[in-house]
Amino acid sequence: MAPPIRRLVLDVMKPHEPDILEFSRAVADSEGVDGANVALIETDRVVQNLKLTIEGGDIDATAVEEDIAGLGGTVHSIDEVVCGDRLIDQQDTPQDH
Amino acid sequence: MTSLRTLIADEDVRSISRRYFISNGFDGTLTSIGIVVGAYLSGVTDGFTVFTIGLGAAVGLGTSGVWSVWEIERAEKQAELLRIERAMLTDLQDTSLQQRREGARKVNAVASGIGPLIGIILPLLPFLAHDVLFSLLEATVVAVGIGVTVLFTFGAYLGSISKQNWIVAGIRMGLAGVVVAVLNLFLPG
């Protein structure tokens, strides 16, 4: 069995409507998602760019992407994936300084 | 499908529906006042006849209200969706965005149809009491009074939502009913 996805960080573009509140609630309600953090990165005349961080026991990435598409949004890129039995954070290395 | 409660909570849906409702309600009420005064001056002898003529106008304006808005909003909402699709570079058919517009269009069309029904039918009601409560002249005067009151209510409502003096806003709208009634007195027929 494939290790479960526990965290996803997505770059998402969406129309102004539905608003970020409704969008967050819908994403948090997706399959395998326990919670969502949605941050507004940029707002344009017609669209908004969001950084979407979601965590859960076993996130269904396809279902999340479908739910985002159902709300009128598109996933531009998957910027971070954490999977396995534990949540592992990115570690700093000397090269990062 | 977006729920009715969500749609009605949306200020854009409310605002557009309100415009159609008031605009077509205004048309309907003035039409009704014109019909009752015209019918009285033409020598119609039976109140029920005036009522049925008015109902014909209600059917016409009600259908016009629903049908025209159904088509107008199809085009407007589709154009709006296309603008968003161009910005998003994606197809938005079958998304909540498109479904919400579909639902909003229904609410707009219903509001547009109800406006003239209220505006026409309420002033016609005294004619149902012809020979019971009112003579034809009395029914006509009461009908004009009801029409002016309906117009006043529309105006007062618009005044209240826009923080104007609702009495003045109501009088401005109600005045149109008096003008139509007076114009009918002086026009041929």
What was the ipTM of the complex prediction? 0.74
pLDDT single digits (tens) A46-66: 999 999 999 999 999 999 999
DSSP class of residue B163?
Answer: T
The verdict on A21 touching B (C-beta cutoff 8 Å) is no
- Judge whether residue A2 has pLDDT over 90: no
pLDDT given at position B188: 64
pLDDT given at position A9: 97
- Judge whether residue A26 has pLDDT over 80: yes
Residues 6+ apart with CB under 8 A from B98: A72, B81, B92
- pTM of the entire structure? 0.83
pLDDT given at position B185: 86
Half-sphere exposure of B69 (CA within 13 A, CB side): 28
Contact B87 A74 (CB under 8 A): no
Contact B87 A18 (CB under 8 A): no
How many angstroms away from the CA of B158 is the closest CA of chain A? 27
- Judge whether residue A5 has pLDDT over 60: yes
Strand-pair partners of A81: A8
Tokens standing for residue A88: 């592992």
Average pLDDT in the A25-41 region?
Answer: 94
- Judge whether residue A43 has pLDDT over 80: yes
Strand-pair partners of B28: none
pLDDT single digits (tens) A79-92: 999 999 999 998 99
CA separation for the pair B72, B79 (Å, rounded): 11
> CA angle, corner A77, sides to A74 and A79, nearest 5?
135
Contact A15 B100 (CB under 8 A): no
CA separation for the pair A26, A72 (Å, rounded): 12
One digit per residue, pLDDT tens: chain B, 189 residues? Answer: 578 888 888 888 999 999 999 999 999 999 999 999 999 998 888 999 999 999 999 999 999 999 999 999 999 999 999 999 999 998 998 898 899 999 999 999 999 999 999 999 999 999 999 888 889 999 999 999 999 999 999 999 999 999 999 999 999 999 999 999 999 888 765
The verdict on A70 touching B (C-beta cutoff 8 Å) is yes
pLDDT given at position B7: 85
Per-chain mean pLDDT for chain A = 93
Q: What count of other Cβ atoms lies within 10 Å of the Cβ of residue A5?
A: 20
How many angstroms away from the CA of A20 is the closest CA of chain B? 14
Please spell the DSSP secondary structure of B31-67, one letter per residue. Answer: HHHHHHHHHHHHT---HHHHHHHHHHHHHHHHHHHHH
